[in-house]
Amino acid sequence: MTTVTPTLDVVTVGAAPLRPDDVVAVARHGVRVEIAPEALARVARTRALIEGLADDPEPHYGISTGFGALATTFIAPDRRRQLQASLIRSHAAGTGPEVEREVVRALQLLRLQTLATGRTGVRPVVVSTYAAMLNAGITPIVREYGSLGCSGDLAPLSHVALAAMGEGDVRTAEGDLSSAADALGAASIPPLELSEKEGLALINGTDGMLGMLLLALHDLRVLLDTADVAAAMSIESQLGTDAVFAADLMSLRPQAGQAASAANLRALLAGSGIMASHRDPSVCTRVQDAYSLRCSPQVHGAARDTLDHAAMIAGRELAASVDNPVVTDDGRVESNGNFHGAPVAYVLDFLAIAVADVASISERRTDRALDVARSQGLPPFLAHEAGVDSGLMIAQYAAAGIVSELKRLAMPASVDSIPSSAMQEDHVSMGWAAARKLRRGIDGLARVLAIEILTGARAIDLRAPLVPGPATRAARDVVRTAAAGPGRDHFVSPDIEALTALVLSGAVARAALGEAGAGADEALPTTSEKTTMSEGNR
């Protein structure tokens, strides 16, 4: 995904809730973690409480009993270490392709944060081991399928716990496949031998789906800025109007995201010689642009607002301590349902819908640029010699195929539920599945935007000698570092791949919005902040 260099040297866990940028820095860029001393002290105090309950002849769930549907089965003290290890081994039942390294690292970090709250009852050594594995770059092999999103991401988290026990397979910092035992040994990390409550504490959480949500939020802020840039290039090159994006018109419908995108479009189109060439009503006789041009800020803005809502939910989840049972402030150990992934699953599905729609309107703008009947004077398919050359005809096919796939991926996962554990766990969130399909959707959106930007850059060049605005020209110049301008047909696929990488890196958005003074910085401001920035620098 994005490759912006982090500014953090170390992320401290346990002093305060992690920030979204902390998670991206550790998961994607390998930034080191440290445990706050007060967190280790807190963990030690809670562990003493758990050990007291372990000696109690009365059963306590997860401490002296079985799990799930076996919660009423009392386990004798001499079998409890076996119980914890058996829990992890049996629950590490994932199957399918390996999950991406950044997702597993996010999952590891988020579980570490919950352990460091002191509400799970683990020993300090468990906390230290998870931190050491992250810092050594030891990434457990987690499989695609296995989580129902309730009781949390059981199977993915179990694969991580299994590796901490010195069992199963991992990837080293260099990406090599290794046994967990060998990797831990090479890093001088003793394998864990789990004690009472610790098996449950390591696997009862929404960490996998939350980690993927946080990575998605980071990427989508870049992609929604890029969507505004792509739209500006299409509007400009197709001789559209920017009058419909006026601030007073936007204020008639006070949607924050819409206002932010409209402000970006105004800034991106400012100073355009192409736009100036047809402002005179005697030159341009069109009354209104098509929806895909005119309604770009409404669609992009709705996606921005959805993103902000998802970020709010993610922020709350980052402040949570999800485990079952959990240790309360007054020392009670209580069962609860906080591991249910519904809050996270819903917004993952909401974002998949927004991704599909932003890609859909982007593909429509691309299609208009290639259609000689609608492109306002551009050659068919932007071909050098129509008939002999096909131009970008099939690039649009690729975008259309991706959009069709994104519409299927927009089908909510969270409306499904399959009972498990002998009907004890009879309603589940499917949040992990929602997160997996959103990741695929983000990749698809980036490719659709790359195709629109490739098309827009060629269309702008074909408007010569008319001159584009400074911002769209900056975007065009980034495109030209990866793809040639108008001319005879050539191998198009490498152009699309290279531009997709530039889109995901944020290079296109930074170049254009930086020139326009409209945002797209690495601090990832909120919608309301970006509206102020765009208006103030316009």
**What does the DSSP assignment read for 194-207?**
--TTHHHHHH-S-H
Could you give the residue numbers annotated as active site?
61
How far lies 485's CA from each of 207, 233, 380, 481, in Å?
Answer: 45, 15, 16, 10
Tokens found for residue 184: 């831990």
Rounded-to-integer distance, Cα 448 and Cα 97, Å: 25
Q: Do 29 and 5 contact (CB within 8 A), yes or no?
A: yes
Rounded-to-integer distance, Cα 130 and Cα 114, Å: 11
Tokens found for residue 181: 């035992």
Q: How far is CA 442 from the centre of its chain?
A: 8
Phi, psi of 334 (to 5 degrees): -125, 140
Q: Do 162 and 140 contact (CB within 8 A), yes or no?
A: yes
Rounded-to-integer distance, Cα 78 and Cα 510, Å: 61
Collapsed DSSP state (helix, strand, coil) of residue 89? helix
Q: Based on the number of CB atoms within 10 Å of its own CB, is 385 exposed (0-12), middle (13-18) or buried (19 or more)?
A: exposed
Rounded-to-integer distance, Cα 499 and Cα 454, Å: 8
Give yes or no for a cis peptide into 151 (omega within 30° of 0). yes
